[in-house]
Amino acid sequence: MQQTSQSVRPRPDRSAALDPASAGLATTLTLAAMSLGYGVVQLDVTIVNTALNAIGAALGGGVAELQWVVSAYTIAFAAFILTAGALGDRIGAKRIFMAGFALFTAASAACALAPDAVTLIAARCVQGLAAAILVPNSLALLRHAYADDKARGRAVGIWAAGASLALTAGPFVGGALITLVGWRAIFLVNLPIGIAGLWLAWRYAGETTRHQSHELDLPGQFAAIAALGTLAGALIEGGALGWSHPLVIAGFVLAAGFAALFVWREARAPQPMLPLSLFGERLFALSSLVGLLVNVAFYGLIFVLSLYFQQVNGLSAFQTGLAFVPMLGVVLPANLIAPRLAERVGAPATIALGAAITAAGCLATLGIDRDTSYPAICLQLIAMSGGLGLLVPPLTSTLLGSVEPQRAGIAAGVLNATRQTGSVLGVALFGSLVGRSAAFITGLHAALVISAGVLLAAGALIWIGASSQVRQ
């Protein structure tokens, strides 16, 4: 017997009976809460990269162990984000968002107290799970708060800008904390952010409609975790053990098998974690693929450049943080410019332009060597981040606009799952390229070339694909 789709009405929005000014304030503070949720997720990316040397010195291990500290977070983030989006659709995005914020805050405290690398990696997995809950549900709540497409596009730009501010402040604040207090302090800064975000969300965010017919696809979830985990493990250990090592080859074979099992399951599940029908919409499919390719390049390079500054150039954590400030500082103004540029020339053109700028920055950095001065590469690093800041808001808004509102949670989950999968692959692949110190610069050059290639491919895909859809 076919199950009847039911929709449970949420509690009335707190702002429903408010005057327009108060309702506008509630919407603005909802945006602030969502920005804090995304911002704290992004904050941990740059802070942890700045602390790599300090963590390695305190807990032991080489590049492979440091890759796991970074990748444990992004693997859990990528693997669970689709289920988290579906949970928001089923239970209510506000409830799930608040649970994620509470879990992220608790996991941050566990990271700060970790006595060894294994415990830290485990706590980072929990952080990644919480991040997976925060991001798609923050976007779903924004979609709920901003019904108008133009207003939502600008809200998404501000949401992304909040994360950009966290990315920019992360290296500087992290470097200062590591120098003055120690690496454990970088996780403690999440506690006041978590408390503030929880209160704002509880007080001002309106709950979304619950769709109890949206069931969880646990077999698909397990297949996704296994596929991404074994692929990342094979890439990471390939740099340490060698690409022809039997364990590495076995890892790639298992990853391919689990990936095939995941697709098979999603094609047959009554309510799949990843509805393959979504990819029948060209802009949705292109946006998801571009998100993956862009993050392979950007976050892989962030990891490698952190090692370059600290292990090759011998910079302290604070100096490394300062080195990243100009690079990441340009993301915020680029995020704010992007929605207005997209309104004039179109989102696909803005995305393609951002990808081209970032690729140009990668190619212009190919002259980097062990004795290269920071001023000689500063402008190139700024170009890399500026292009990223330009493309993320229209990419996000394009994907959200390509699906019906009731699927906003799962759509946001798909975009962020593909982006975080790209981050996992970038850190794992580029880290393995530079894992042997004697070949660090050769590996860095290879990472820059690969990054430029995938970025140019991403820009071409969204430009050509969107143009073809318009002609049809």
Asked whether the predicted pLDDT for residue 472 surpasses 80, the reply is: no
pLDDT of 87: 77
Backbone phi, psi, residue 432, to 5°: -70, -30
DSSP 261-308: HHHHHHHH-SS-SS-GGGGGSHHHHHHHHHHHHHHHHHHHHHHHHHHI
Task: Please tell me the least confidently modeled range out of 125-134, 312-321, 442-451.
Answer: 312-321
> Exposed/middle/buried for 153, CB within 10 Å: 0-12, 13-18, 19+?
buried
Asked whether the predicted pLDDT for residue 468 surpasses 80, the reply is: no
Asked whether the predicted pLDDT for residue 10 surpasses 60, the reply is: no
3-state SS, 304-318, equals: HHHHHHHHHCCCCHH
Whether 227 contacts 255, CB under 8 Å:
yes
pLDDT digits (tens, 9 = 90+) for 177-194: 888 888 899 999 899 888
Helices first, then strands: H and E counts in the chain: 17, 2
Whole-number CA gyration radius for the chain? 21
Cα 85 to Cα 49: distance, rounded to the nearest angstrom: 27
pLDDT of 157: 75
Q: How confident is the model at residue 19 (pLDDT cuts 50, 70, 90)?
A: low
Give every CB contact of residue 23 below 8 A, 6+ residues apart in sequence.
Answer: 15
CA 447 to chain centre: 19
Q: How confident is the model at residue 4 (pLDDT cuts 50, 70, 90)?
A: very low
pLDDT of 440: 87
Cα 448 to Cα 394: distance, rounded to the nearest angstrom: 25
Q: How confident is the model at residue 16 (pLDDT cuts 50, 70, 90)?
A: very low
pLDDT of 250: 93
Cα 282 to Cα 284: distance, rounded to the nearest angstrom: 5
Among 11-15, 146-150, 382-386, which range has the highest average pLDDT? 382-386
Asked whether the predicted pLDDT for residue 12 surpasses 50, the reply is: no
Cα 385 to Cα 379: distance, rounded to the nearest angstrom: 10
Q: How confident is the model at residue 209 (pLDDT cuts 50, 70, 90)?
A: low
Task: Please tell me the least confidently modeled range out of 19-33, 139-153, 308-322.
Answer: 19-33
Q: At 447, which amino acid appears?
A: A
pLDDT digits (tens, 9 = 90+) for 269-318: 887 877 788 887 788 888 888 989 999 998 899 889 988 998 888 888 88
Q: What tokens appear for 446 in the block?
A: 């290879």
Cα 303 to Cα 171: distance, rounded to the nearest angstrom: 12
Cα 75 to Cα 240: distance, rounded to the nearest angstrom: 19
Asked whether the predicted pLDDT for residue 266 surpasses 80, the reply is: yes
Cα 63 to Cα 125: distance, rounded to the nearest angstrom: 18
pLDDT digits (tens, 9 = 90+) for 346-375: 888 899 999 999 999 999 999 999 888 889
Cα 405 to Cα 175: distance, rounded to the nearest angstrom: 41
pLDDT digits (tens, 9 = 90+) for 37-80: 888 888 887 788 888 888 888 887 677 788 888 888 988 888 88
Q: Across the strands, what pairs with 7?
A: 211
Determine how many CB atoms are found less than 10 A away from the CB of residue 344.
Answer: 8
Q: At 19, which amino acid appears?
A: D
In percent, the amount of the chain with pLDDT more than 90 equals 20
Cα 103 to Cα 388: distance, rounded to the nearest angstrom: 29
> Exposed/middle/buried for 83, CB within 10 Å: 0-12, 13-18, 19+?
buried
pLDDT of 15: 45
Q: What tokens appear for 242 in the block?
A: 């060698």
Whether 361 contacts 418, CB under 8 Å:
no
Mean pLDDT of 415-431: 85
Task: Please tell me the least confidently modeled range out of 12-21, 166-175, 317-326.
Answer: 12-21
Cα 320 to Cα 313: distance, rounded to the nearest angstrom: 10
Asked whether the predicted pLDDT for residue 262 surpasses 50, the reply is: yes
Cα 167 to Cα 379: distance, rounded to the nearest angstrom: 18
Q: How confident is the model at residue 20 (pLDDT cuts 50, 70, 90)?
A: low
Q: What tokens appear for 350 in the block?
A: 């803005």
pLDDT of 438: 63
Mean pLDDT of 405-429: 79
Q: How confident is the model at residue 437 (pLDDT cuts 50, 70, 90)?
A: low
Instruction: Tell me the average pLDDT of the chain.
Output: 82
Among 31-45, 92-106, 234-248, 325-339, which range has the highest average pLDDT? 92-106
Q: Across the strands, what pairs with 210?
A: 8
pLDDT of 130: 93
Helices 63-91 & 52-59 angle (0-180, nearest 10): 110
Whether 173 contacts 189, CB under 8 Å:
yes
Which has the higher per-residue pLDDT, 15 or 223?
223
Using alpha carbons only, give the angle 329, 332, 338 rounded to the nearest 5 degrees. Answer: 135
CA dihedral 415, 418, 424, 425 (to 10 degrees): -140
